[in-house]
Amino acid sequence: MSIFALKNNQPKAGGGEGMRIGYDAKRAVRNMTGLGNYSRLVIESVAQRFPSHSLRLYAPDTRENPRLAPILEMPNVELVLPAGDGLMAKGALWRSFGITRQLRADGIDLYHGLSNELPLNIARSGIPSVVTVHDLIYRRLPECYSIPDRLLYDFKYRASCKAADRVIAISRRTANDITELYGIDPEKIDIVYQGCAEAFKHPASRHALASAREKYRLPARYIIQVGTIEKRKNLELTVKALAALPRDVELVVVGGDRGYLGCVRKIARANGTLPRIHVISNVAFSELPALYQMSSAVAYPSRYEGFGIPVLEGLESNRPVIAGKGSCLEEAGGEAAFYVDPDSPREMAEALKAALTDGPQLVSRLAIGKRHASRFSNSEIASRLEAVYEKTIRQKY
């Protein structure tokens, strides 16, 4: 009999001796990128790998989300909204305090905060808890965040790390930051790397490729950089390096602007590359694999990340990847990616030229990339999470 069945002396809903897991699903419901993608990937992977578990997704509200809809159709997944009409059943107060009453009433065996946060009273509730911390970039690059945001993140995320029974870091770099900046015992931290959607692991159909090329008027030969257009992501380095590349190589940027695009365009105008840069926003997630697979190389010279999903997506798409040194991107890319100083346009240009040169070395690097990416399978992620959940329950009881 499993540890979960022993705890309550009976099997859980969903068939077999499963566990009843509660998830903070706010981001899974609301966010279409980043934390939303991670939340949905975890929920879907655990639900598929462990069908006897009952997964309850706690969200302050619901809204139409085509990415979440298939997950909610799984037989062991249920969306749960705030119960009652009082103040504690609304918004942030519910997520910070009121939710624990529902967790106890629902017989939750373990609660997992998927996006850096736990209810502030989770330790007093007696419910075993795990929190995933994605990054502490606001501490490493404070200039990229407003003072109110930094203070809020620092308070909430530090409190969650201290209250949680176990902390999951999505990379070794993030784990080290949690220990260094928040004083969390490394023995309390488990590293469970992120994965990416299955769609990136398979060739897009001819129809999908042709449709994306026509819809976005893609150039014949291009480098792709995916991510929010903000200073930290360092798009300017790719733009500066573009000037040293053959004129038939263009740059496709996929992401929403956070006020940084004007600066990038100014640089491109000065070095004569502006006509070669194509910015695309509001790309459907289902179209991203085709955009990656038609590219000649993937650029991601970010100054600091928690993991760096575009690096993994690029490797899974069988494309050469160029990433920035100094945070966790070496963990995401392993020996397959090219790594450059985030402040060196010369290094970036040299790496891009190498990535654009066909030959046996590039073929070998791409093969290494596929092997490295296979370490981040969704089934493996689910198994590692299961191990953390079991460890948490054992420590608690």
Q: 290 and 160 in one domain?
A: no
Beta bridge partners of 132: 168
The pLDDT of residue 88: 80
At residue 11, the pLDDT reads 36
User: Is residue 130 scored above 90 in pLDDT?
Assistant: yes
Quick one: 224 and 132 in the same domain?
A: no
The band of 89, judged by pLDDT with boundaries at 50, 70 and 90, is confident
Residue 169 sits in the same domain as residue 265: no
Both tokens of 56, joined, read 């309850």
Tokens 């809809």, residue? 69
- Claim to verify: residue 154 and residue 289 sit in the same structural domain: no
What b/e string do you get for 6-32 counting C-beta neighbours within 10 Å, with b at 16 or more? eeeeebbebeebbbbbbbbbbbbbbbe
Q: Into how many domains does the chain fold?
A: 2
Report the pLDDT value the prediction gives residue 391, as an integer from 0 to 100. 97
- Kindly state whether residues 323 and 382 are assigned to the same domain: no
pLDDT band at 161 (very low <50, low <70, confident <90, very high): very high
- Judge contact between 185 and 218, C-beta under 8 A: no
pLDDT at site 380: 92
pLDDT grade for 6, boundaries at 50, 70 and 90: very low
Q: Are residues 211 and 119 in the same domain?
A: no
136 and 150 part of one domain: yes
- pLDDT tens across 20-47, in order? 999 999 999 999 889 999 999 999 999 9
Q: Tokens 């007093």 belong to which residue?
A: 124
| 8 A C-beta contact, residue 273 and residue 242 | yes
Give yes or no for residue 152 having a pLDDT over 80: yes
Mean pLDDT in residue range 276-297: 96
Name the band, by pLDDT with cuts 50, 70 and 90, for residue 91. Answer: confident
CATH number at residue 97: 3.40.50.2000
- pLDDT tens for 226-255 read 999 999 999 999 999 999 999 999 999 999
**165 neighbors 113 (Cβ within 8 angstroms):** no
**101 has pLDDT over 60:** yes
Residue 258: closest CA among 283, 280, 231: 231
Residue 263 pLDDT class (50, 70, 90 cuts): very high
Mean residue pLDDT across the chain: 93
Q: What is the pLDDT of residue 181?
A: 98
Per the model's pLDDT, the better-predicted residue between 88 and 257 turns out to be: 257
Domain containing 297 equals: 199-375
Q: Quote the distance between the C-alpha of residue 164 and its chain's center.
A: 21
205 in the same domain as 132: no
Alpha helices in the chain (DSSP H): 3-8, 26-30, 35-49, 69-72, 91-93, 99-105, 122-125, 137-140, 147-163, 172-182, 206-216, 235-242, 261-271, 288-293, 309-316, 329-333, 345-355, 360-373, 378-396
Q: How confident is the model at residue 87 (pLDDT cuts 50, 70, 90)?
A: confident
- pLDDT tens-digit map of 43-65: 999 999 999 999 999 999 999 99
- Residue 156 in this model has a pLDDT that exceeds 90: yes
Do residue 129 and residue 231 come from a single domain?
no
pLDDT of residue 50: 96
Assign 2 a pLDDT band (cuts: 50, 70, 90). very low
343 shares a domain with 222: yes
Mean pLDDT of 104-116: 97
Residues 260 and 348 in one domain: yes
